[in-house]
Structure 1
């Protein structure tokens, strides 16, 4: 089973993003995070590599500006919103390319429209329109055929269906897939917790353990399976691994896409999760 990398680098913009931890930024952000140090400490650390200097905190000298009056001091980080996602507007889903992408992921439009919005945002001076899934703090998980990101603040999304159990998902397409698989269910769905990043898994333990049963519907990659194993060590009676339902697939949405045609041809949707 091939796994999709969660660490992305945009060489054109010189930025990175780790979807597993929900963190990202430029080279300086990576250096301070990797070495667990401040910007000034990172500068001092890098200054020791005299043999082959590969990084400079000073901008190149521009002819006609030799005084350096507008140059930044070494180690000083310029405050700018240019590289941050700025949400401009949200509305019901109507754009055809987004609706086509939702259908490609095997999600009925009535289910997607219940939980998702069409979101305009600005990034590096460019306006983009994508599918937005809102978290509890007002930020969005942002997706399209060609974009994956999130706006601040980053947080989980909790859907309260007033039951005594909770189903836990890593990403919102797995949650939408769960709603799709159970769309003909007459009883209320479980409460649903969408982590939006595995970095919130352990932080959400107190919330999960408010419920008698916790159904883990996490990705079947190394990170997701490690979280499942950790939860079973916490309390094997409370936490239940439901990923066997979509075995041989990375996540529930991949399973749904793979079986969509057979579900349309046969009454297989009777299988519930």
Structure 2
């Protein structure tokens, strides 16, 4: 088998051999929980007709080789080819790198409109996540957008590059460009910055009133940790409210390696829960049952 034949392996078959099955199908699109990072809402799409994938959570996509790159976290093309071949139980001849690699596919968001976050099914979804409207409306907006001629809407959380994290009951993704979000507590510099993986956890911290006078940095993806490092240099204290999973622990280790004792793991607050929003939901339910 040569490189071109490896590229023709159906992505669904490749993922199945690695133990990942689609959560749902819509036409030519298969939706998965992202296979190389933890999530509860499927945001990883495979187009079976074009044999391309796109991860709306990371804002990345491409063919089977770029997918192998995400699994391996390596740009070594030969390593990617061997990984694909081993998953398919095949041997490969002709390891030379092709002269052309397709660029990752980008989702096309049409006619994006930004509007105030008013009472709607979006705020009902936030209420289910125990996020009050007053908290969400200070930091979020409503996004109206089109995809292939159809109109959709989502909660929007702005990032530093002019893009938006987009979330609804049925969708989790990003309207590019992907970047981190920095929420300043005051005009003057703060001595502490709190780090969150996603904006739902940041809104949860605001709801629980644990942010105090600290600035807040939302990664919007653990893949953005290098961008976070560039922004955290000026803070004397860094509190991390990261997910209690492997990806969250890797991110915490990266920041601790960079800043040492300046970093505090604040996830002890929600010990036993995956993330801060899950803790908020459990706490809110307990409070309601005791009333």
**Whole-Å separation in 2 of the counterparts to 1:168 and 1:127:** 33
Correspondence 1:4 to 2:31: no
Residues 11 and 165 of structure 1: CA distance in aligned 2, closer, same or farther (over 3 Å): same
**Whole-Å separation in 1 of the counterparts to 2:254 and 2:104:** 39
2:185 pairs, out of 151, 161, 164, with: 161
Q: Secondary structure at the match of 1:201?
A: helix
Cα displacement (A) at 1:259: 1.4
- Report if aligned partners of 1:85, 1:150 keep a CA contact under 8 Å in 2: no
TM-score between both structures, scaled by the size of structure 1:
0.72
Larger radius of gyration: 1
Counterpart for residue 24 of structure 1: 61
Counterpart for residue 224 of structure 2: 200
Cα displacement (A) at 1:221: 1.0
Correspondence 1:182 to 2:182: no
Counterpart for residue 237 of structure 2: 213
Q: Secondary structure at the match of 1:237?
A: helix
- Report if aligned partners of 2:43, 2:173 keep a CA contact under 8 Å in 1: no
Q: Whose RCO is larger (CA < 8 A, sep 6+)? A: 1
Q: Secondary structure at the match of 1:204?
A: helix
Q: Secondary structure at the match of 2:260?
A: coil
**Whole-Å separation in 2 of the counterparts to 1:4 and 1:198:** 12
Residues 243 and 79 of structure 1: CA distance in aligned 2, closer, same or farther (over 3 Å): closer
1:170 pairs, out of 197, 221, 230, with: 197
Question: Quick check: which one's helix share is greater?
Answer: 2
Q: What count of residue pairs does the alignment treat as equivalent?
A: 234
**Whole-Å separation in 2 of the counterparts to 1:76 and 1:226:** 30
Counterpart for residue 9 of structure 2: none
TM-score between both structures, scaled by the size of structure 2:
0.68
Counterpart for residue 104 of structure 1: 128
Residues 242 and 160 of structure 1: CA distance in aligned 2, closer, same or farther (over 3 Å): same
User: For structure 2, which runs of at least 5 residues remain unmatched after alignment?
Assistant: 1-37, 91-99
**Whole-Å separation in 2 of the counterparts to 1:223 and 1:137:** 24
**Mapping of residues 56-67 of structure 1, within 5 Å:** none
User: For structure 1, which runs of at least 5 residues remain unmatched after alignment?
Assistant: 52-74, 268-273
